[in-house]
Structure 1
Amino acid sequence: MNKSIFSALSTLLLGLSVTACSQSGPGGSSAPQAANPGAEGAGRQFVASGNEPFWTVKASHSTLTWITPELSQGKQLNVDQVVASDDVKYSGVDGDKAFTLVITPVPCTDTMSGESFEFTSVWTYAGQRHSGCAKGGN
């Protein structure tokens, strides 16, 4: 086989490996890396979301807006933003409930819509962890 066939097959397989809002676990990923959110994290805004249960978190500087079907107007949460070398992590406490939003530069595909995103997200509130996708934006 020639190089162009191998190249086309490897590109196809790489594209198929990024599915259902998931990424490979620790120990290596064959998925392409997206832009590094940590590089400009302090000034960057993100919109993260997930399915089952449905949730959206809009992150802007030191504030998160958490939106669910029950919280359609959104709940404002004050956070401390920690920018790591590859990830952006927002964390804080809502009353007695700890929360974190972690944005990781791993491509993600929404499990319901099939939409592609440049980041993977994990939203944890009161010990309940929810995986999803994220994009930079308002």
Structure 2
Amino acid sequence: MKPAVALVSLLLAACSTPPPVDASRVPANPEAAQMGKRAAGDAGDPLRVVRIFGNEPFWNVNVEGDRLVYSTPDDPAGVRLQGRRRAIPGGVEITGSHDGRAFVLTVAQGECSDGMSDETYRLVATFRFGDIDVSGCGEAAK
């Protein structure tokens, strides 16, 4: 009976051993991957995942494909917007409407300063949502 017990133990151990992991398919930072951030060197589709922001007033638009989340300090959870994306020279435009309010986000390559830091960004953006009309800078999500 002892050989049978040993055989069963080996079979159970083999079943519970996970398969080897392909390290090339595992993100370096799994938490960042869940937040929609890119791994270093992952260029992906140009301007597919970007963060747009401005100040006076402070605002943010996180872009992932044709989905946007517009947030402000007064509304940190933000408003989720679904739009239509189209290429424009040097950038992209995403348009749509939400609760009867039209929105247009235009993002183009260009040098931009946020006016508060010494940072220079590679994207220039404008965002109109209903009666809100702001401009700011952007960067690819990291």
Task: Normalising by structure 2, report the TM-score.
Answer: 0.64
Partner of 2:75: 71
Aligned counterpart for 1:131 among listed residues 112, 126, 135: 135
Aligned length: 98
RMSD between aligned residues: 1.5
CA–CA distance in structure 2, aligned partners of residues 118 and 86 of structure 1: 11
- 1:129: how far off? 1.6
Q: Does 1:117 align with 2:121?
A: yes
> For residues 28-43 of structure 1, what are the structure 2 equivalents within 5 Å?
40-41=46-47
Q: Any unmatched runs of 5+ in structure 2?
A: 1-44
Displacement after TM superposition at 1:85 (Å): 2.9
Instruction: For 1:73 and 1:84, locate their aligned partners in 2 and report how far apart those are by CA, in whole Å.
Output: 29
- Given candidates 42, 46, 49, the residue that maps to 1:45 is 49
> In the TM superposition, what are the counterparts of 1:3-42 in structure 2 within 5 Å?
40-41=46-47
User: Within the alignment, does 1:54 sit opposite 2:58 as a pair?
Assistant: yes
Q: Distance in 2 between matches of 1:132 and 1:92?
A: 20
Deviation at 1:114, TM superposition (A): 2.6
For 1:53 and 1:136, how far apart are their aligned partners in 2? 22
Corresponding residue of 1:100: 104
> Residue 13 of structure 2 corresponds to which residue in structure 1?
none
- 1:70 Cα deviation after fit: 1.4
Does the 8 Å contact 1:98/1:127 carry over to 2?
no
If you compute each CA radius of gyration, which structure gives the higher value, 1 or 2? 2
Aligned mates of 1:128, 1:84 — CA distance in 2? 22
Gaps of 5+ in 1: 1-38
Distance 2:113 2:99 in 1: 33
Whose relative contact order is higher, 1 or 2, with alpha carbons under 8 Å and at least 6 apart?
1
1:106-131: CA deviation from partner (whole Å, max 9, x where unpaired): 11011112321011110111143211
